[in-house]
A and B are shown apart, each in its own frame.
Chain A
């Protein structure tokens, strides 16, 4: 990659995920003038989460600009620009407000390379702040990753750490394929000491966040800290949980999953989105296919409830927390 040309700066203060994503955008734009950023309120305001803060001022309004409120048009414009040779990074303001762009994503973004027999790749990055836990009113807290992961032709990634948020976004912008980049908005203000520019691994690789021997917690995005907290608590009771952060849903790191669950013999898949037909079902099925004879307990899922994402006063009942994860761990431990 391009690390050689970049100045590695020691962090003066801990960096938030929002700032790390901003730095990734800024560094990518500085390095390649074909990288353009656009979306709703991303210009002067810097986005409703301030993730694009300062980019318009730094690079000018031809490189970072506000669009009309038209998500299908934002997506389609990005596709056209990518065909012409640009590398658009577009922002969908919130998870549920990406839905108007579905047709452009599914019928064109995902298929263009294929339907042109490889002649027209569309290296577009779609940034989507997603998930609940921030007290958002309706339509502001969806976890919509399964819809995208179900669509061949897209890469789907979601960081859980500050370092990964920088690295994965740089990898996404470097990718010759479209990448849906889910930003766990609950973690925007999480902080870490990181030296940028960081590269933590290619798209398609999972990361073991904590090693353990009794069971594997498979998670991504906002449920990674939840699982880490659960693992810490379990350790006090002598149960060592491995925490596997998928970070890339497509491509999925089957080998990392198999290697971990094959060793621990127990798997609990944890995510915030609706459980029914959710991404955890895919992971659980793949574990069953690959690790069945090494399993000590049935694979279980801890997911959001099968209801529309609830309002602020109710979301604590919905969101998977460490206790719910530990209950599932207890059941898995009791099984074998």
Chain B
């Protein structure tokens, strides 16, 4: 018998208890679940509501979905070793990438492959690691995009370092760092948030609260009602936003990036969203959640919501949809072709990048491996 029964939460995370009766802060949003402007919602600047810009966002959402779907197919065909899908979270991926300029740094997790391709990295490079090799497949400095980070929250301090470096160098660059909701329980999340605030580093912490960490729901991860509330403990603004509403996401990120860029320090954003797929292809989500819950969130799909909004305003019609369909199909076809053949793997290269200069010991091991290969 516990004092506070946290299992009594509905699927949106509302706790119905005497001690903490309400989920007090509804996330900021512009669109309701049907894609209509919500009453009392945020009021974005006209630039953020520009139909051209929103159509660009819509295309990016569709593109992210197509990429994610294709990658999921590739893993089922054995072309990728593993793939964590971002289905349902595309508005977070798109808004994050679109909020950044070329000189800004992006720090993705394993969940954010879509953000890599949205940033311009070719799919075949972006998926190199998940294909089963030892390196990230692209030059992080060229793309200002760190390798996807797997040890949870450990990319946070790197974002602080990148941001602090930009600040000390006098560059107007910003670092945007993704986290999952589960990762907010890690020490590195706390250390990064605290340090960023102390240094007033130009960093945006974007938590995609997709409700689960593999099988563990958020209420077992934290006793807090809102992850954004944590920000006040660090002395930075914390914003809770509907992560399936691209317009709201764009507005919140634009403000946070602008604040960081102009010396206003870091911001913590909690984007409330949902992981529609299992954790990865290797996971079985039926063991820990109901399909009704998934259906509930499917009805709040970020693409449908923006699509309906744009359609109602005449910015999107069947012809444009068909055009986008075709673009996506062409991209996926290209992906399939690129992944049809296995690249060759060179054992020698395993030794080449451990140090700038190979140690005598590594040279000896490389020789051993070469001799083993030659004897085969």
Contact = CB atoms under 8 A, between A and B. Distances in A.
* Majority SS at the chain B contact face: helix
A80 B164 contact: yes
A36 interface: yes
A86 interface: yes
B165 A73 contact: no
Contacts of B188: 72-73, 76, 103-104
Contacts of B163: 80
Interface string A90-123: 0000000000100110011000111111111100
B140 interface: yes
A115 B136 contact: yes
A73 B195 contact: yes
Q: Which 8 A-B pairs have the closest CB atoms?
A: A80-B161, A76-B157, A84-B165, A73-B191, A77-B161, A70-B191, A80-B158, A117-B135
A153 interface: yes
A82 interface: yes
Nearest to B192: A73
22 contacts: A68-B191, A68-B195, A72-B154, A73-B192, A77-B160, A80-B159, A80-B160, A80-B164, A80-B165, A81-B161, A82-B161, A83-B158, A83-B161, A84-B161, A84-B169, A85-B169, A86-B168, A104-B157, A115-B134, A121-B356, A175-B356, A177-B356
A75 B168 CA distance: 17
Given A77-B160, A119-B139, A250 B154 contact: no
Interface of B: 129, 134-137, 139-142, 146-147, 151, 154, 156-166, 168-169, 175, 187-188, 191-192, 194-195, 198, 349, 352-356, 359-361
A1 to B, nearest CB: 15
Contact of A117 (B168, B195, B353, B359): B353
Given A68-B195, A100-B187, A114 B161 contact: no
A22 B322 CA distance: 67
Contacts of A133: none
A111 to B, nearest CB: 9
A177 B355 contact: yes
B162 A116 contact: no
A24 to B, nearest CB: 21
A81 B168 CA distance: 10
Contacts of B135: 114-117
Contact of A76 (B158, B165, B354): B158
A286 to B, nearest CB: 9
Contacts of B165: 80-81, 83-86
A77 B161 CA distance: 4
A62 B353 contact: no
A78 B168 CA distance: 13
A251 B354 CA distance: 12
Given A83-B165, A113-B353, 5 more contacts: A79-B161, A114-B135, A116-B140, A117-B353, A153-B355
A252 interface: yes
Contacts of A81: 161-162, 164-165
A113 B175 contact: no
B52 to A, nearest CB: 34
B194 A73 contact: yes
Contacts of A277: none
Given A81-B165, A86-B165, A250-B359, A73 B157 contact: yes
A255 B168 CA distance: 44
Nearest to B203: A80
B147 A79 contact: no
B36 to A, nearest CB: 42
Given A113-B354, A121-B356, A80 B162 contact: yes
Interface string A149-169: 000110100000000000000
Interface in A153-198: 153, 155, 175-177
Contact of B160 (A73, A85, A152): A73
Contacts of A68: 191, 194-195, 198
Nearest to A175: B356
A78 B164 CA distance: 10
A251 B146 CA distance: 28
A254 interface: yes
Given A68-B194, A68-B195, A76-B154, A84 B353 contact: no
Contact of B141 (A77, A88, A120): A120
Nearest to B156: A76
A135 to B, nearest CB: 31
